[in-house]
Amino acid sequence: MARCDVHPGHRFKHWQVWPGSFDNPPVDGVFRMPENPGLKITPATRIASIGSCFAREIKRRLIQRNYTYIAEETHHPAAVHASAAWERVYSTHCMRQIFEYTFETWKPDLRWWQSPASGKIQDPYRRTILYDSLQEAEADFSRHRGCSRRALQQAEVLIVTLGLTEIWQDQVDGSVICLPAGPYVREGGDMSRYRFRVSRYAENLENMERIHAIMARHNPECRLLVTVSPVHLWATFRSDMDVISASCNSKSTLRAVADEFCERHDNAFYFPAYEMATIYQPLAGTTYFCEGRENFHINKPTVKFIMQHFFEYYS
């Protein structure tokens, strides 16, 4: 048991007090969590994952440990990050659209971009996926929907990694594109129909609830394991705030969303990957940032630390 001078009559579990506070043990390389996670994962558990850059790191470690990771469209470059060719999914808005096009009818007003100079067909809703013709794009997306459906319906556990709150939204129908990137943007494609904005708590929570409702209909036994990505924004489109503050706002908003979402649902659980990286590692005197040009990413020792705790906690 642990103690606190402010509440001398109360005895806390070690995971309830700040490491090293008062007479409590300092950080020792073990991130303390409640004894019963409420979720059991074994190598036989069918696991799918979707989300931002950190989802790719989770996928790699699960496969390395020979866990039953669901992998569709393995031939597709966009599938390297997740269980199907969803590419990296940064916002809950884009994530919600994936679940809607997978299981329902989802028809945005403008489905494809055609690059002005090269003529390449680009998918605005999945990061820089390109085709030589509209026919090729439609055929591949039809195949992708089937693969997406199989991945999500097979999953016993779906790991969802939340990334950021900055979005680019179609002013005509409200759909959200992945990023203003790729040949369509570089070659001067018309972006006037899209507006940049910062999404807020209520709408992100609504997106998560929508995802939960869809999964409840199509795979009701699936459990959702939610994380917040510890990878920071490398740039912000905001003109009223610096990138560090904008990144903190994104993560704080999504962390609050994850907390309420998991509190609402018995089959939703939160894993503190974000806290392990951004708070525990600095307390231990260890940096969690990569070196070099992409120093907004987390380094390999931190990924190893997080995933070791993942396997120990849920296994």
pLDDT value at residue 53: 81
pLDDT value at residue 132: 98
Whether 234 contacts 294, CB under 8 Å: yes
pLDDT value at residue 5: 80
d(CA 184, CA 117): 8
| SS3 at position 26 | coil
Q: How many other β-carbons are positioned within 10 Å of the β-carbon of residue 22?
A: 11
Whether 129 contacts 57, CB under 8 Å: no
Residue type, 176: V
Q: What are phi and psi of 120, to 5 degrees?
A: -60, 140
pLDDT value at residue 10: 84
d(CA 117, CA 31): 52
Which residues are registered as beta bridge partners of 51? 161
Q: Which two tokens stand for residue 18?
A: 């700040």
pLDDT value at residue 80: 92
pLDDT value at residue 273: 96
Distance between start and end Cα atoms, the chain? 24
Q: What is the chain's length?
A: 315
Residue of 267, 128, 273, 106 whose CA lies nearest to 187: 128
Q: pTM (2 decimals)?
A: 0.95
pLDDT value at residue 139: 98
- In the chain the domains, ranked by start, together with CATH numbers, are 43-107+145-176+201-314 (3.40.50.1110)
Burial 72-99, CB ≥16 within 10 A → b, else e: bbeebebbebbbbbbbbbbbbbbbbbbb
pLDDT value at residue 63: 96
Which residues are registered as beta bridge partners of 48? 158
Contacts of 15 (CB under 8 A, 6+ apart): 32, 33, 34
Per-residue pLDDT of the chain (315 residues; tens, 9 = 90+): 787 788 888 888 889 999 999 888 899 999 999 988 999 999 999 999 999 888 888 999 999 999 999 999 999 999 999 999 999 999 999 999 999 999 999 999 999 999 999 999 999 999 889 999 999 999 999 999 999 999 999 999 999 999 999 999 999 999 999 999 999 999 999 999 999 999 999 999 999 999 999 999 999 999 999 999 999 999 999 999 999 999 999 999 999 999 999 999 999 999 999 999 999 999 999 999 989 998 988 999 999 999 999 999 998
Which residues are registered as beta bridge partners of 49? 159
pLDDT value at residue 81: 93
pLDDT value at residue 51: 95
Handedness of CA 259, 263, 268, 272 (dihedral sign): positive
Residue of 222, 101, 62 whose CA lies nearest to 155: 222
Alpha-helical runs (H) found in 155-242? 183-186, 201-218
DSSP state letter for 289: B
From residue 288, give the alpha-carbon distance in Å to each of 49, 57, 133, 281. Answer: 23, 14, 43, 6
